[in-house]
Amino acid sequence: MLFRPVLLLLAAVTLLPDEGQWLPTQVRAMDWAALQKRGMVLTKDQFWHPENGGTLSATVQINGCTASFVSKDGLLLTNHHCGFGAVSELSTPEDNLLRDGFAAKDRGSERPAPGMVAAVLKRIEDVTAVVHAEQQKAKSDLERFEVTQRTLQKLVAEGEKREANTKCSVASFLEGKEYHLYYRTQIRDVRLVYAPPRAIGEFGGEVDNWEWPRHTGDFMFFRAYVAPDGAVRDHHPENVPYQAQHFLPVSTDGVQQGDLAIIMGYPGRTQRYKTSRGVMTQQGYVYPRRLDVLTRAIAVLEAAGRTDERLGLAVADRVKSLANVQKNASGMIFGLRNNGTAARKLREEEEFTAFVKAAGKAEWNGVLAEMLAIDEAEAAVIEKETTMAFLGLLGEDVPLLGAMIEACGSALASPIGKAPSRVVQVLGSDELTAHWETIQQPLLRILAGEVGGLSAAQRIAGTDFLADGEKAVEAMLAATTMRDAAARKALFAAGKDAITASADPMVQLARALAGERVATVQRQRERFGKLLDVGRRWIQAQESFRGQSFYPDANSTLRVSIAEVAGYSPREAVTYAPHTTVAGLLQKETGKEPFANPKALLAAAATRQQSRWFDKRLGDVPVCFLTNGDTTGGNSGSPVVDGKGRLIGLNFDRVFENVAGDFGWSRERSRNVVCDVRYVLWVVESVMPSPALLGELLTTK
């Protein structure tokens, strides 16, 4: 794997804190001697070299998660919840892989995994100078945003044109201070190799989600395939396993408290340098609304799933995805409050102001005030924008409303005053009202209720008729004729004048939301454009204020977290050990979901003392362990390696007290949950045996 060196973002990392999601170049700049004292055996070139790759290069991005190559023949290991959607789609009531699990007998039995794409990083190129040069030509905040987007699109197109089998993207670091162009091989033929039964891969369900102690076997194996000449292509019977240049050997030694644990992955998004006002808005409004709305939406989908097994399979992935966001919101509310994040931000801002004054940095005098003003402007419209975000999040579950919003928007914006014929054709389909009684109507009640419940100052134009709450929403549902396909098609085929004149309350709602969608996009583009100017100066000031060990916010690019195995104390008089075992798993067994283990696991547990994966130090077969790594969403599936670069587990969660870690790492409470690789091996050997897979894992050198 070749990497073109990028400019070093920051000064050498002279400290080795467990805080930080570090770029590959920054890891190389760390005090390697100090890292060796913590247990690092690899040299910095063995861990990662800009030209030759290394252990870090075994890390792969897959469907918003992380995976890793664990054999030279393209074998990928990631979380069960990362492959949940693909397995759900492969499942039927007659062949329920989600419930029963799947183990390919040989490579010919591996099944194409719908929608799974593995992105293997080839190299990174610094394009900061190009982007900044174009940004300087902008005359306004909106123009700065638009110029930036055009420039990034051009860089991506040029990069993909230069290299075959390549997908490119540009990542912005430190509020636009730097831009890097990423070249990736995007493997589209990904096949399911092994999935444990859902009762193992999701043991504890939403009850245990974001909690400790944890006993979840959150793992799944896939394999990447390419054409015989190495070119990427869609699934084809003649495709062959991708030959991974770098892969991770499995460690069978186990880990103990204090052992070095290195987490490699693609963390999604953190907000470490947000202002106090920005944190207050999230804590005071966004997360509470998100928790309430998603709690009600999930209840609707779960109830619908119980009416029919096939529908239950169809909504399973949606429920799981939304439930994760829901509990995240709950954790954010808890963590931001208990950690006093906003108060800490206020103290830091006071210290920053004093620092700027003492340093005599005139160019930074007003930058904090400018950042606070941007966040204040966002707060002034946050109710509307949060509601529009709910429409985006739940839109696929309410296709009738989504299609009507699209039709209203396109017709009202069209020079000829008509929606495209394809849009009108879709509106004439009876499929738009599928699952009306069980899913769409109940969710419409929730969404329309949110629209009607906005404060007078932030009400969406044209939605006053919903201000009476539930009564108004019920009146809308009773009066609308838009459930009739012919009526919908006739109205929208008539064009702009008919749409504007319509008194149908659901058309009124769609019309208003179409207009607000345009307004929201415009506001956000202007805000982002301003941040490209102010934010860059803010980060420059923060770099000086905070010192040398300064890392950029996570943005779905390859990062490294240096950590160690560690327990924690979530509250007074309670201390959690860093390991869980099969004994604890059996203590949770109730025989009912989500704590019902497969019979095969219970049988294997009865003789586990004879297993080679029995750890005498723990007195049992290990299941999970904790580290104090700095992780966030996107780190799901991240390989966790020891100082020799051997796989010791895979990250799959954080503890509840650490959900708010996106806004700041805590030495006392920041803990991430890792599935011990020995539990993976025990399940593969003793619970749902796959001799071929086990052999491949244990013979990999």
Return the active site residues.
Answer: 81, 218, 636
CA–centroid distance for 280 within its chain:
23
From the list 70, 50, 51, 49, the residue with the least C-alpha distance to 59 is: 70
**Cα distance between residue 28 and residue 25, in whole Å:** 5
**Cα distance between residue 288 and residue 331, in whole Å:** 10
Contact 422, 493 (CB under 8 A): no
Write out the two tokens for 684: 């593969």
CA–centroid distance for 163 within its chain:
28
**Cα distance between residue 370 and residue 376, in whole Å:** 10
From the list 110, 101, 104, the residue with the least C-alpha distance to 200 is: 101
Q: Name the strand (E) or helix (H) holding 485.
A: helix 485-494
**Cα distance between residue 599 and residue 473, in whole Å:** 48
**Phi and psi, residue 640, nearest 5°:** -115, 125
Looking at residue 346, its amino acid is L
User: Which residue in the block uniquely carries the two structure tokens 């197109």?
Assistant: 157
From the list 515, 523, 536, the residue with the least C-alpha distance to 142 is: 523
- List residues bridging with 77 in a β-sheet: 68, 221
DSSP code at position 544 = H
Length of the chain: 701
**Cα distance between residue 289 and residue 295, in whole Å:** 10
Contact 626, 254 (CB under 8 A): no
Contact 336, 342 (CB under 8 A): yes
**Phi and psi, residue 118, nearest 5°:** -105, 125
Q: b or e along 19-38 (b: 16 or more beta carbons within 10 Å of the residue's beta carbon)? A: bbbbbbbbbbbbebeebeeb
Write out the two tokens for 112: 């194409």
Write the burial class of residue 67 (CB in 10 Å: 0-12 exposed, 13-18 middle, 19+ buried): buried
Write out the two tokens for 66: 């992380």
Contact 265, 635 (CB under 8 A): yes
**Cα distance between residue 635 and residue 505, in whole Å:** 44
142's CB contacts (< 8 A; 6+ apart) are 522, 525, 526, 529
CA–centroid distance for 256 within its chain:
29
Q: b or e along 659-683 (b: 16 or more beta carbons within 10 Å of the residue's beta carbon)? A: bbbbbbbbeebbbbbbbbbbbbbbb
Write the burial class of residue 458 (CB in 10 Å: 0-12 exposed, 13-18 middle, 19+ buried): middle
Instruction: Please give the sequence-ordered ranges of beta strands (E in DSSP) within 89-239, or none if there are none.
Output: 102-103, 111-112, 118-126, 167-173, 178-187, 189-195, 220-226
**Cα distance between residue 336 and residue 696, in whole Å:** 44
Note the helical H segments in 306-454.
309-338, 341-359, 367-379, 382-394, 399-413, 421-427, 441-452
